[in-house]
Amino acid sequence: MSQRSCLSVILAAGEGTRMKSAMPKVLHAIAGLPMVAHVVKAAEAARATGLALVIGHGADEMRKAVQKFAPKAETFVQEKRLGTAHAVLAAREAIAKGYDDILVMFGDTPLIDAAALAAARQKLAEGAAVAVIGFRPPSPTGYGRLIEKGGRLVAIREEKDCSEAEKKIGFCNAGMMAVAGNQALRLLDKVGNNNAKGEFYLTDIVELAGADGLDVVATEASFESALGINNRAELAEAEAIWQARRRRDAMLAGVTLIAPETVYFSHDTEIGADTIVEPHVWFGPGVKIASGAKIHAFSHIEGATIASNCDVGPFARLRPGADLRQKAKVGNFCEVKQATIEEGAKVNHLTYIGDARVGAGANIGAGTITCNYDGFSKFFTDIGEGAFVGSNSALVAPVTIGKGGYVASGSVITESVPDDALAFGRARQKTLPGKGKELRERFASAAAAKKRAAE
């Protein structure tokens, strides 16, 4: 089968009115990735060599989105919604190119397993003209039943048309199928619309192929893999299934999740073995974590790279561009953005580091901030190796703290500090004995007078 070419036709033209959204349904995300992009990834994993997306509602928005996750895909617009067979034929130009296999998929089934697609393709390689993907839901009510005789699929029967015996069949139509490329257009063109809705149904090709003496079979996918998304409740259910799968994969790969059900991964999260993740951690897109890191509870991480044996959190926020080198520490209530924290450096408490470099072994005291933005432009702060920045300091960029430099606590640093220098950027303290008592008495007298005046 590896030598067979394959076109995946993904139907993504539905309006998705039950989503109650101005955005096309298939662009709603699972694990930070549009659900249709999950379908594309499954098709690619099943070795589809061509992609054709049939779009409709929000066509311009869809094209822009498709460029991000499937730049080589062809898009075709279904101008009128006249049924699933009509939708597939919108991609006639692509189908006509002569692929060996045609996979018909739906953009709102983000959990489809690539193995189920590959199994359907294998049936084509063995000589079948059509391979329909079925599944066994907990209750078959509402689903079309797959009617088999002698190991062949003879019909897909909608529930309203089923006999009492057929209603007891638990093997149901998932909607997806594989069709031999040399038969696809001929069968699709034979589909009629002599039905109550006047639509062209893809399922009709089962009986059409059978009538021509062609081999039609059914393969089976898991219920979860065939789950279609029609509303936001089902979107949340799919998210939960995806997350459960990903958590299990992570743990089997050597990652410790203290409370797995509270950890949320993104579609592209990379996390190394022997990493420990405490409860309530959220990974956004673009996170790469090497082995042996420890991510403490309630941390929020996106677009960040974390090297081996780093320590993050609790309650840390790593934003895009955060780059933590080996054994770096970013502690509680700290935020790092577009900044490198070099080997062994510590940013321990209540600190913001943005557009900066913190050199190896440097220590950043509690309450320190890099003042990187003047309302118009961003500026860089460079903190050298082994530097020490005292608590509650403000580093006004652009500024450099040299190697081994020392910034006294409470300083506002507006000029660069040379290597090994000590910098004070604060007003000199002045103590006036007795003046505290005098000030309190004056404030108390003024407050009493104001109260009397109000009475």
- Residue 2 has what pLDDT? 59
- 240-253 pLDDT, tens digit per residue, is 999 999 999 999 99
- Mean pLDDT over 297-321 rounds to 98
- Asked whether the predicted pLDDT for residue 394 surpasses 90, the reply is yes
Lowest-confidence range among 44-58, 306-320, 394-408, 424-438?
424-438
- Residue 1 has what pLDDT? 53
242: left (phi over 0), alpha (psi -120 to 50) or beta: alpha
- Residue 287 has what pLDDT? 98
Token pair, residue 380, equals 């860089």
Token pair, residue 210, equals 């059978």
Confidence tier at 198 by pLDDT (50, 70, 90): confident
- Residue 354 has what pLDDT? 98
Note if 267 is an active site residue. Answer: no
User: What is the chain's mean pLDDT, rounded?
Assistant: 95
- Residue 3 has what pLDDT? 85
Residue 270 near residue 285 (C-beta atoms within 8 A): no
The CA angle 155-164-141, to the nearest 5 degrees, is: 75
Closest CA to 379 of 355, 415, 413, 395: 355
* Catalytic residue, candidates 86, 280, 296, 349: 349
Helix (H) or strand (E) holding 383: strand 381-383
Domains in the chain, CATH or no CATH each: 6-220 (3.90.550.10), 232-423 (2.160.10.10)
- Residue 430 has what pLDDT? 86
- 104-142 pLDDT, tens digit per residue, is 999 999 999 999 999 999 999 999 999 999 999 999 998
